[in-house]
Every structure is written in C-alpha cells, then in structure tokens.
C-alpha cells in the first residue's frame, strides 16, 4: 500500500525587494565587525651582510675573526674561523657605524675599521606587526692594514637577505 | 472694425502664431511650445544625496568611516552619471595597540549607473562602474619608542604626513526606491579593485580614503538617501 507523502513544508519566500536589503545590511555589518587578518612576515631580521673577497673571488678567512662595534665596545662576532661572510647588526639611529675587524693568526694580528655611512628610516608592514629600522648605505670606507677596499653591493638593508658590502682583502704581495 | 488674421487654422492654434487686430490695438499670440512629457526627455532629473553608513559608523565610534555625499543626473531614467566625494577618516590601532594609523583626507569617484528596471515606476535596479582616486597624507606612530638593543638607544616611532595616493575601480549593484515625493532611499554593494597605489617607504596605509582597508581588492557598500529634483 502506498501512502500519500505529505509535501514538505517550504519556507515563505522573502518579500519582494525587501529581503535582499536586509541580507545586504547583515553582510555589511558582518564586514565591518570582522577582524583584521594581516599576516605579519616571520623573517624580519634587518642585518648587513659582509662578503669577503680577494682578487675578485670569494675567500674564507682562515684566521680568527673578531668584529667589534666601536663606540659601544660590543663584540658582534667573536673568534670565528673559516668565514667567507658575516651578518652584522646595524645601529638603528647612528649616522655612521664603525666596526673593527680584528684578524688574529699564528703570525700575529691586524685590525681594520670599516665605516658605514647610512640613512635610517623606520618601517612597518602593518600596524599589527612589529616595526624595524631599515637603512640605505650612502658611503663606505675603511683603514687599509689588511683591507684593500670595500664596495657597496646592495645599498638597501632591509628584510631581503642579499650581500650588502664586499670587503676585498689585500693579497700577500701587496 | 474688428478683424481676425490667422495664418493657420484655429484648430491648430497651439503651434501657430496668431495676430488679432481690435480697434487701435494688435494682439500677437506666440505659438505655445509643447513640452515633452518627463519620460520622453533626455534630462529627467538631478539628485543629491548622502551615504548613511559612514555617518552611522562615526556616531557609533568605529575607528574608520567614509563621510560621503553624491550628485547624480538622470538621463532617460536609464543612464545615471554620478559624482561621489567624501572624507575618509581612520584612527586605528594595531592588535597589540603598539602602532597607530591616522588619516583624514578627501576622495573622489566618478562613474555611471545603468538602470535595468524597464518599468519606469520610480524603483530602480542598477549596475554601475566607478573610477575612484585619493591623494592623502597619513601618520604611522607609536606611543612606545623603538629600542636598539645592541647600541642601546631609544627613539619614538613617529612618522607623520607620509604621502600616499591610490587609484581604483568599482563594480556596483544596487536597488533604489521612491520613499516619499522627492525623497529616495537606496543601497548598493560594490566590488573594488585597486589599480595603483603610492606609499611611503615607512609603510603602507592601513586604509585608503574612499577605497577601504588596503588590499588589492575588497568590497563595500552604501546605504543612501537622495533628493531627486
């Protein structure tokens, strides 16, 4: 025996022209009440990368390397060996960073100071993210006991991890 | 002696010139120019109005609002060239309250709506396009200084009057009805696409006046009251 199936009860349609107005208002309120969802960058180190070179090619400094920030006497790199590059912090507000590179080997030690002239500016991705200082290198020079010259490879010190400065060491014959 | 001179038949006197001589006086009656009915005219009205959403948000204490007015022309009850201008305001803090974004600048939008309602009964359904732009100054500040832990120095993070600019487009869908005599009420929803923006290197603006929260695209809407003459 087949029973008559009672038709399912349907919702009354929205009043013509009115319902969509309410839908729109609800969506608008939902939009205004929604939270910010900005994703802050995770890797936001701002450091200056120094590469070591001699006669046009990259080298490793086999002797012990120590880098000190002059003025605050803070050791930034302590007795590292076999380094072909170093990443060093940059002062937030100083116009010139003076860094002493000390290289100590079996035959003694030598020191050179690298001066980096720069422009500093704050940077923030979003008001919900932490702020950092970015820098633009305008000039670089050094003493010349071991260092022959210093070149600016990338003047902008920011979240990009590129080599900023290239330090060319003097060759044994010089 | 009275005489009546008529260049055309009196039956069509409305669109003819008639001269009547009575004694010493001559009366010239210029033909009446018949005015087209409203629905046949090109220019069928001018409207001014305001978006209520921004004012409600400001009154409710929201941290941003767009205070907007508009002027619109009705051509054949089908094409509606429109100018929207407003003042975008924001006084917004980040989630951790460390950094603050402030802006207060004008914005402009021009475009046209197309009424797809074939019945000219006062109710309209629109599709439209807008081009918007804003040139503005904004502040990015912090109540706490930014500290250099290595060189041990703190200074305030305080960057004011940074220059910004943005250009964008909007696709609009809306409904509008006659509320009472010349008063009309309408709403619309909009999808927005940012074409270009110019920001300061300190950081991008959190909100673009007239566009909304700064992203490559977004959506918004208006709820507006208009007076149509």
> Nearest-CA neighbor of B140 among B165, B116, B157, B163?
B157
Contact call for B175 and A20, based on CB within 8 A: yes
> How many whole angstroms separate alpha carbon B161 and alpha carbon B81?
34
Could you tell me if B103 and B87 lie in one domain? yes
Average pLDDT rounded to a whole number, residues A90-119: 93
Contact call for B201 and A36, based on CB within 8 A: no
Could you tell me if B206 and B181 lie in one domain? yes
* C-beta of residue B66 within 8 angstroms of C-beta of residue B54: yes
Of B101, B151, B187, nearest to A127 by CB-CB distance is B101
pLDDT at B36: 76
* C-beta of residue B141 within 8 angstroms of C-beta of residue B167: no
Could you tell me if B66 and B28 lie in one domain? no
Could you tell me if B120 and B18 lie in one domain? no
B107 alpha carbon, distance to own chain's centre: 10
Higher pLDDT, B30 or A150: A150
- Asked if B159 is an interface residue toward chain A (Cβ–Cβ < 8 A), one would say yes
The residue of chain B with its CA nearest to that of A72 is B151
Higher pLDDT, A36 or B197: B197
pLDDT at A23: 59
> How many whole angstroms separate alpha carbon A165 and alpha carbon A170?
16
N-to-C CA span, chain A: 110
N-to-C CA span, chain B: 50
Could you tell me if B138 and B205 lie in one domain? yes
Could you tell me if B127 and B204 lie in one domain? yes
Q: Is the pLDDT of residue A90 over 90?
A: yes
Average pLDDT rounded to a whole number, residues A42-54: 89
User: Which positions of chain B have pLDDT values less than 50?
Assistant: 1-13
Q: Is the pLDDT of residue A31 over 60?
A: no
Contact call for B203 and A20, based on CB within 8 A: no
Interface confidence, given as ipTM, is 0.73
Contact call for B187 and A21, based on CB within 8 A: yes
Could you tell me if B190 and B99 lie in one domain? yes
> How many whole angstroms separate alpha carbon B87 and alpha carbon A146?
61
pLDDT at B13: 43
Query: Percentage of chain A surpassing pLDDT 90?
Result: 51
Q: Is the pLDDT of residue A16 over 60?
A: no
Q: Is the pLDDT of residue A49 over 60?
A: yes
Could you tell me if B183 and B125 lie in one domain? yes
Query: Percentage of chain A surpassing pLDDT 70?
Result: 76
pLDDT at B121: 81
Could you tell me if B95 and B123 lie in one domain? yes
Average pLDDT rounded to a whole number, residues A134-152: 95
Of A121, A122, A127, nearest to B100 by CB-CB distance is A127
> Nearest-CA neighbor of B81 among B111, B39, B46?
B111
Give me the domain span that covers residue B4. 1-34
Q: What is the mean pLDDT of chain A?
A: 82
The predicted-structure confidence for B15-28, as pLDDT tens digits, reads as follows 677 788 887 788 88
pLDDT at B7: 42
A58 CB-near residues (< 8 Å, 6+ apart): A51, A52, A84
Structural domains of chain B, count: 2
- Asked if B152 is an interface residue toward chain A (Cβ–Cβ < 8 A), one would say yes
Average pLDDT rounded to a whole number, residues A157-168: 92
pTM exceeds 0.90: no
CATH code of the domain containing B205:
2.40.160.20
pLDDT at B85: 97
Could you tell me if B51 and B159 lie in one domain? yes
The residue of chain A with its CA nearest to that of B157 is A122
pLDDT at A26: 56
Q: Looking up tokens 């995770």, which residue turns up? A: A42
pLDDT at A37: 60
pLDDT band, residue A41 (cuts 50/70/90): confident
> How many whole angstroms separate alpha carbon A81 and alpha carbon A61?
7
Q: Residue-wise over B52-69: b if at least 16 C-beta within 10 A, else e?
A: ebbeebeeeebebbbbbe
Could you tell me if B50 and B132 lie in one domain? yes
B194 CB-near residues (< 8 Å, 6+ apart): B166, B167, B168, B208, B211, B214, B215, B216, B217
A150 CB-near residues (< 8 Å, 6+ apart): A114, A140, A141, A142, A165, A166, A167, A168
> How many whole angstroms separate alpha carbon B9 and alpha carbon B3?
15
Of A25, A121, A127, nearest to B201 by CB-CB distance is A121
């Amino acid at each position: 025996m087949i029973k008559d199936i009672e038709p399912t009860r349907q919702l009354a349609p929205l009043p013509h022209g009115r319902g969509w107005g309410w839908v729109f208002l609800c969506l608008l309120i939902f939009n205004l009440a929604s939270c910010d969802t900005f994703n802050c960058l995770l890797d936001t180190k701002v450091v200056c990368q120094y590469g070591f070179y001699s006669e046009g090619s990259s080298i490793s400094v086999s002797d012990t390397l120590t880098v000190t920030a002059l003025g605050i006497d803070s050791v930034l790199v302590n007795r590292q060996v076999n380094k072909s590059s170093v990443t060093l912090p940059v002062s937030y507000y100083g116009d010139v960073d003076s860094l002493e590179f000390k290289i100590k080997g079996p035959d003694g030690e030598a020191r050179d100071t690298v001066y980096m002239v720069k422009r500093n500016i704050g940077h923030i991705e979003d008001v919900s993210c932490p702020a950092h200082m970015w820098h633009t290198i305008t000039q670089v020079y050094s003493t010349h006991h071991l260092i022959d010259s210093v070149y600016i490879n990338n003047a902008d010190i920011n979240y990009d991890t590129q080599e900023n400065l290239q330090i060319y060491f003097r060759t044994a014959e010089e | 002696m009275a005489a009546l001179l008529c260049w055309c038949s009196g039956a069509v006197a409305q669109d003819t010139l008639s001269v009547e001589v009575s004694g010493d006086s001559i009366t010239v009656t210029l033909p009446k120019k018949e005015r087209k009915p409203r629905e046949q005219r090109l220019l069928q009205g001018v409207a001014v109005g305001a978006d209520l959403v921004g004012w409600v948000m400001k009154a409710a204490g929201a941290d941003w609002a767009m205070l907007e007015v508009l002027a619109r022309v009705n051509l054949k009850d089908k094409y509606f060239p429109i100018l929207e201008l407003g003042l975008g305001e924001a006084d917004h803090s980040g989630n951790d309250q460390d950094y603050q974004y402030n802006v207060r600048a004008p914005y402009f939008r021009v475009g046209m709506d197309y009424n797809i309602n074939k019945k000219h009964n006062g109710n309209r359904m629109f599709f439209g396009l807008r081009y918007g732009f804003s040139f503005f100054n904004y502040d990015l500040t912090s109540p706490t200084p930014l500290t250099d832990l290595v060189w041990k120095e703190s200074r305030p993070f305080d960057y004011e009057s940074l220059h910004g600019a943005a250009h964008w487009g909007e696709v609009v869908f809306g409904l509008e009805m006659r509320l009472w005599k010349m008063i009309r009420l309408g709403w619309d929803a909009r999808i927005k696409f940012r074409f270009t923006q110019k920001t300061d290197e300190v950081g991008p603006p959190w909100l673009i006046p007239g566009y909304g929260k700064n992203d490559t695209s977004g959506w918004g809407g208006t709820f507006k009251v208009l007076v149509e003459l």
